[in-house]
């Protein structure tokens, strides 16, 4: 039996994958509404396949969701609590991890294995977890095994992806590897807790840097009156070397904070990163993209002779990404875009195929259907890459507006040619000069 502590995206999907692999799970989370909803069979977030496995686990008894931590925890405890970024320096808030360690330590069986799965700056498992566990059990086993799935395909990826294992000692590593071998036949051992922590952080920092390059190409192409998408497509065509990344917003709770966690591993949070840091530069550039999109939207309104303060803008795609689809709005581009737009325009509407209207309303948006939004707005920004926006009906709806209207397309989803014959219609794509 395994205890999973923290039943968010990471904990609950891991629990489901382990149940599928025949491992019994005890789940615990400090958020009572969350545990009550899971126990009632209602998942706190959208993830394909999750509902089926969790409800089967609850029905068959292979999953127990506890209201309180049991007096004696199972032999293996996996910590999946949140480690959000906090403050202007985007440093890690390790308080949830500290609290989880404090609450599990007195309940551990002798020789129990604790696996830290939350994303943390390099050195955290040894610096925080080890002292919290030492002296509590006669021979604590401790490992860091990062989560690297993509939201929207987590259950599939948990069965496919290699699992990184860094142990405090050989016994810890072997115990952790035995657990993850239930999920995958690819367990990758690294030499230390710190190496495993760094693997996770460099994976996400690398993705951020790749997007950063794509976004820089987009900004350069715009300045030069060229089309970044054409250039990137041509550069990649049958050419084996640079696999250039297309432009786009980098969102989500991980990609927006993990580069900071990597940097803060060396420099205290809030301190300036080294001036030659590629990771820091890419992050800053990627954070600029939403404001750039907001400015392009305002420019379009001006070109159409529409007064921004009398205009309504609809943002389409509020989740932080559209592929694979998710209802997660953490780190989404729509929030900073709207923040900037609200200083100039009358109203910001929102549409999403997956995110619940209440969630969009709680972010300060007025949630609308696509039809209603297009009828009320003067501009429509396609913020994420949900393929639903590429349907012909959407282009048809936009084509039939019949008054000055702007479309701002962040992900090159729509075909510019589809609007070329319309008078008083502006189509503007991020990366097109």
Ligand X SMILES: NC(=O)c1ccc[n+]([C@@H]2O[C@H](COP(=O)([O-])OP(=O)(O)OC[C@H]3O[C@@H](n4cnc5c(N)ncnc54)[C@H](O)[C@@H]3O)[C@@H](O)[C@H]2O)c1
Which residues contact ligand X (rule: CB under 6 A)?
A: 5-11, 28-31, 34, 80-83, 96, 99-100, 118-119, 147, 151, 253-254
For ligand X, the closer CB: 83 or 428: 83
Nearest CA-CA partner of 308 in 318, 316, 297, 319:
297
Tokens of 301: 């309104």
CB of 401 to ligand X, least distance (A): 37
For ligand X, the closer CB: 100 or 332: 100
For ligand X, the closer CB: 204 or 215: 204
For ligand X, the closer CB: 31 or 234: 31
CB of 81 to ligand X, least distance (A): 4
Closest residue to ligand X in the complex (CB): 8
What's the alpha-carbon Rg for the chain, to the nearest Å?
A: 24
Determine the Cα–Cα distance for residues 323 and 387; give it in Å rounded to an integer. Answer: 8
For ligand X, the closer CB: 53 or 297: 53
CB of 410 to ligand X, least distance (A): 21
CB of 151 to ligand X, least distance (A): 5
For ligand X, the closer CB: 197 or 409: 197
Determine the Cα–Cα distance for residues 303 and 406; give it in Å rounded to an integer. Answer: 9
Phi, psi angle pair for 197, to nearest 5°: -60, -40
CB of 168 to ligand X, least distance (A): 19
CB of 191 to ligand X, least distance (A): 22
For ligand X, the closer CB: 328 or 352: 328
For ligand X, the closer CB: 7 or 348: 7
| Cβ–Cβ < 8 Å for 104, 67 | no
CB of 204 to ligand X, least distance (A): 8
Beta bridge partners of 189: 165
For ligand X, the closer CB: 118 or 286: 118
CB of 86 to ligand X, least distance (A): 13
CB of 118 to ligand X, least distance (A): 3
């Amino acid at each position: 039996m395994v205890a999973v502590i923290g039943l968010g995206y990471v904990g609950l999907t891991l629990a489901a994958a382990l149940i599928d692999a025949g491992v019994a799970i005890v789940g615990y989370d400090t958020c009572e509404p969350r545990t009550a909803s899971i126990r009632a069979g209602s998942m706190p977030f959208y993830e394909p396949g999750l509902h089926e496995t969790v409800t089967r686990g609850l029905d068959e008894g292979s999953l127990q969701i506890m209201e309180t931590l049991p007096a004696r925890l199972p032999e293996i405890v996996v910590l999946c609590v949140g480690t959000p970024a906090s403050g202007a320096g985007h440093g890690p808030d390790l308080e949830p991890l500290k609290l989880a360690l404090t609450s599990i330590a007195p309940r551990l069986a002798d020789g129990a294995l604790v696996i830290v799965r939350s994303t943390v700056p390099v050195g955290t498992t040894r610096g925080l977890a080890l002292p919290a566990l030492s002296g509590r059990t006669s021979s604590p086993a401790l490992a860091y095994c990062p989560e690297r799935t993509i939201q929207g395909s987590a259950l599939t990826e948990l069965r496919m992806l290699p699992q990184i294992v860094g142990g405090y000692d050989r016994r810890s590593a072997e115990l952790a590897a035995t657990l993850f071998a239930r999920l995958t036949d690819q367990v990758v051992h690294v030499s230390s807790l710190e190496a495993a922590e760094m693997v996770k952080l460099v994976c996400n920092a690398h993705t951020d840097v790749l997007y950063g390059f794509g976004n820089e190409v987009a900004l350069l192409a715009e300045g030069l009156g060229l089309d970044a998408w054409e250039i990137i497509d041509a550069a990649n065509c049958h050419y084996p070397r640079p696999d250039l990344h297309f432009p786009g917003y980098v969102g989500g709770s991980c990609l927006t904070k993990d580069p900071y966690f990597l940097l803060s591993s060396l420099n205290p949070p809030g301190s300036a990163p080294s001036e030659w840091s590629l990771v820091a530069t890419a992050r800053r550039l990627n954070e600029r993209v939403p404001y750039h999109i907001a400015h392009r939207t305002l420019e379009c309104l001006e070109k159409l002779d529409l007064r921004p303060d009398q205009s309504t803008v609809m943002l389409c795609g509020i989740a932080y990404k559209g592929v694979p689809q998710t209802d997660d709005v953490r780190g989404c581009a729509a929030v900073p875009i709207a923040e900037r737009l609200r200083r100039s325009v009358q109203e910001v509407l929102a549409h999403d195929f997956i995110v619940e209207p209440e969630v969009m309303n709680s972010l300060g948006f007025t949630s609308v259907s696509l039809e209603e939004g297009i009828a009320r707005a003067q501009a429509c920004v396609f913020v994420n890459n949900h393929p639903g926006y590429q349907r012909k009906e959407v282009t048809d709806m936009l084509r039939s507006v019949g008054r000055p209207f702007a479309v701002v397309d962040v992900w090159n989803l729509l075909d510019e040619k589809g609007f070329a014959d319309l008078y008083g219609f502006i189509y503007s794509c991020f990366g097109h000069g």
